[in-house]
Structure 1
């Protein structure tokens, strides 16, 4: 799958630092208001109720209609805001989202005309979904670009202190990625499966419940991360790192760890907002925090003597920025967002954690494995000499930047398909999936064309060394080809997350990188002396494998079955809630005790 390594706010520092470190030796330089549905608080949650939630259900395919659902333009319009439930549930309001089913006149027209209407309907929905996905993806794109700045500014600040300081933040950032941030990103990807379909279901308050459960999982997960980060110096010395670099890297990790809980919460809250269609909220918050982060870095690293902290000022500024994002997210959610999705705090938030752990571990296999793969490739490039190392940094930073557009589209696609599955719109979910794949191809083709047109001048954006410029120009055609499959994989990964197929995505990533791509690239780079060209050939082959099989899995999806699976999951959640309420009421009437036993 496409590398989420690109997407996290800590992905760029190690790449930028590698480039800056090389440049240090080359002076020519670088680069709907409505109250939530009434729901009684859960005073007691029984163990058997928790087990019921995780009960496996044998799939019985739903009966298929004689003719498929047809999507056509007006005159008959049923919008998402039309009350389909009693009481009605707030929806993500899309004016273009209409579902038209041919009525009695269907039997009066010939087969050719009926097929023509089907084609017209599908084309209409294709363009509608393209507009919706674009509107969803643009703020996500802005969010991730602004997140880059939260850590990149710190790298730039520290990079001007000394070469040792720059090496330390590069090492510290890489350690943070591998042992913390990638794992958080992987676990929180489980919410891409649970929240969007819950929001458009008859039980939108499950969005809040699953969010609370993920907070509990994250709180436990942070404990081993802190143990590693606070003992990082010994770990890095064991790995034969320079003692002074290891000491400063460990110091960086200790101070930036102040913002680690906030970073985890931000990953959760972002999905909470996005599942409700509030894609612009995280962007607006980070848009406010980003300039504050720049100011804090200047004041704490280079500012007046009374407040200047030097090296530790940069991680402190980053930690403060993460916490500011969390505080503003909580305030926005409490003041401006309707409580439709919220679930009252109760003991039920401690149930069904196994579902999130299962999906989360698969998510780690899908996302963290890629982060680790790219760090491994960067390490391999370091053995090829300083020119190859600087070139790898230029290429990776470039690919990371252009990847943000298809990655944002993948996030938007995951939410959109999840919403449609929660509403039972199987065919439209399939059209949205195919639309996103086509859009990814267009975006990637544009990036590829840009790299090909400017390949001889591209490296001058980062470095003036002629060796680096020449090597970048010779590898950019490979990177251009890589873009097409990387963008496709970003979207298919989002589709798989919407379907709850994180395990499938993890198997694709692990096999593509660690069985095919990296070994093949290493073999070409060192055995056949193809050096950096060989590494990128290996990466391209791994993405071709991922994209081809990921696309096949997506286009051959039985979307009726996916709707049925979501309905069953929601039915089990509702059954647990009703049983708990009934037993509590019975206990209050004195019919049975709170454990469900007759008196």
Structure 2
């Protein structure tokens, strides 16, 4: 069972030493939670702890605290037996995806400031099931379906190919009486299973197979792939629709989207990454109402940020006219952005809302929302563009409709299905304590903005070649971003699995999982490459009827097809680096390759050699090849046992930090 939140003592108004006691209680809560989570560990970001401690100190006068006191008094009347920490199920193999960032032209590499893997009751159940399966695979627990030496040949061959069990020789199996090899009874208790797990880890007895890892990574990634593709379908549908209107409109959408990404979507997504830390820590420490408070505070901050952005978009037509040579394209892009202003509040609310539900482990919430929102987006495009006859502005209106619909659907999910336990209503405290939150959010915004700009600058460069090339760029970006929404969720699944295995001190299993993930990335990359190569003359006409634009797209698609393989490998390798705690290596490698290799080569081949759009994409392909090569080399040279030791050191460091803070408070 999940550990209950540790109560906070509160009575009347507290100042001075009382506030310090409140902060000490908060740190004690974190320390006790860490003790219960085994190999899980909380982020040591002092700013995050400062924010949560301040919030706890400010909330003592709220009526909710009085209700909490009444509830705790009622609970104390029905005294429960003390929790035996040693008997609690551990959470070594929690299937909690990390680094979820989607909804834009190209998913962004996760920020390093991720919240710790907070374990709830559902996670514990899943973790115990995963540990039990791994013990069965290693013949340390009785199998669910005992096999017989008299099985037919076809069954043995099928088992040899697809069974997740660690292979043992048939002779050894036949000579061993059934269940006699197992050190536990046929139906061991949870405590016996936990003890067996700890002994197996200590003796380095646990191995895994490629079948097990392929099965696990597929399970982790399938729902993420659906979610990513559904969310990106909002953009794809808009490009499809506008492409049917005309070349000029297609290019304008590309230019407007580039501007929106750099000036709005990147800052919003980057700033909201701090909720990955704040909401996760608030939820994990047992103060669930603070999760809703962080949601409100970030949403208000983002809405305030939208005021200067809206002003910029309103006058964007004139600004873009000074940058690109075609005045008609700039005017249409400016018109598109003016309409998009109405959708920015929904974008900000949905980015914060995603983290609100993810902190509670409700990762399927956004999938359910998009299963409804994506079809309605298609319907909205048809209605506004064709039925109402609004044309180009109708496509922008459909985007606005969907952007505001998604947070509303997410609100309905939280209100009527799951997630309300972390909502305490609107609070005046959401308008305070912004300084530390902004300091925590700025690094994430800078990293996301840098990654956006490296790709979006290519759209700006394509506009210099004329409206046909800009329209072709819109098609190419849409196609490559759609295909990237397959390996990127796969990289998140690989990162999750490797991080879990590292946290469980199973370095050999983590290496096996990494190899399987890379093989999956190669398969996906080859599939995407084959798809784009074989359909290079068909894909352009899905977006446009303009022959010149279609010819340009067909000419560049072979380069984009080759890019698919290195792009998939780069995504998987960066996910593996996140899994072993080396995301900084991947982040800096990406930025180095984008700005010092990809963009210079793109500009050189695009203008100096006269390759134009082919040259721009050639530079991107070379840059991503460098990224994948460097990261794969680092993974090959990495000391995975050292990664396990570092994970343990982080846990001990957190414990020592909290103990020191407790002593200083006293």
The verdict on a shared fold, with TM-score over 0.5 as the criterion, is yes
Distance 1:565 1:213 in 2: 29
Q: How far did 1:299 drift?
A: 3.3
Distance 2:318 2:555 in 1: 41
1:96 aligns with 2:160: no
Aligned counterpart, 1:541: 622
Distance 1:195 1:288 in 2: 26
1:196–1:415 Cα contact (<8 Å) kept: no
Distance 1:38 1:448 in 2: 53
- TM normalised by structure 2 equals 0.62
Distance 1:227 1:278 in 2: 36
1:123 aligns with 2:123: no
Residue 567 of structure 2: which of 486, 501, 506 is its match?
A: 486
1:289 aligns with 2:373: yes
Distance 1:552 1:333 in 2: 44
Residue 396 of structure 2: which of 311, 315, 319 is its match?
A: 315
1:368 aligns with 2:399: no
Aligned counterpart, 2:5: 37
2:93–2:504 Cα contact (<8 Å) kept: no
Aligned counterpart, 2:354: 270
Higher mean C-alpha deviation, range 446-455 or range 325-334: 446-455
Distance 2:596 2:432 in 1: 38
- TM normalised by structure 1 equals 0.68
Aligned length: 509
TM alignment of 1:50-449, pairs within 5 A: 54-55=45-46, 80=91, 89-92=120-123, 93-94=125-126, 95-98=129-132, 121-124=206-209, 127-158=211-242, 165-191=249-275, 205=288, 211=295, 214-215=298-299, 217-239=301-323, 245-274=329-358, 276-303=360-387, 311-337=392-418, 347=429, 354=436, 357-358=439-440, 360-384=441-465, 392-414=473-495, 427=507, 435-449=516-530
Aligned counterpart, 2:646: 561
Distance 1:433 1:194 in 2: 29
Higher mean C-alpha deviation, range 286-295 or range 242-251: 242-251
Distance 2:227 2:368 in 1: 8
- Deviations along 1:470-501, one digit per CA (max 9) or x if unpaired, are 76666545333321221122234445566776
Instruction: State the secondary structure of the residue aligned to 1:447.
Output: helix
Flag structure 2 segments of 5+ consecutive residues without an equivalent. 28-43, 48-88, 95-118, 141-180, 182-199
Instruction: State the secondary structure of the residue aligned to 1:257.
Output: helix
Root-mean-square deviation (CA, aligned residues, Å) is: 5.0
Q: How far did 1:454 drift?
A: 4.8
2:324–2:463 Cα contact (<8 Å) kept: no
Q: How far did 1:520 drift?
A: 1.6
Q: How far did 1:543 drift?
A: 0.7
TM alignment of 1:571-590, pairs within 5 A: none
Residue 602 of structure 2: which of 515, 518, 521 is its match?
A: 521
The structure whose Rg is larger is 2
Q: How far did 1:325 drift?
A: 1.2
Distance 1:430 1:357 in 2: 36
| Residues 373/567 of structure 1: CA separation in 2 closer, same or farther (3 Å cut) | same
Q: How far did 1:123 drift?
A: 2.5
Distance 2:628 2:338 in 1: 39
Distance 1:438 1:274 in 2: 29
| Residues 434/168 of structure 1: CA separation in 2 closer, same or farther (3 Å cut) | same
Residue 509 of structure 1: which of 570, 587, 590 is its match?
A: 590
1:391–1:471 Cα contact (<8 Å) kept: yes
- Deviations along 1:562-592, one digit per CA (max 9) or x if unpaired, are 454367568868998x999x99xxxxxxxxx
Q: How far did 1:180 drift?
A: 0.9
Aligned counterpart, 1:18: none
Instruction: State the secondary structure of the residue aligned to 1:319.
Output: helix
Distance 2:311 2:659 in 1: 39
Distance 2:249 2:453 in 1: 23
Q: Which has the higher contact order (CA 8 A, sep 6+)?
A: 1
Higher mean C-alpha deviation, range 514-523 or range 497-506: 497-506
TM alignment of 1:444-459, pairs within 5 A: 444-454=525-535
1:147–1:286 Cα contact (<8 Å) kept: yes
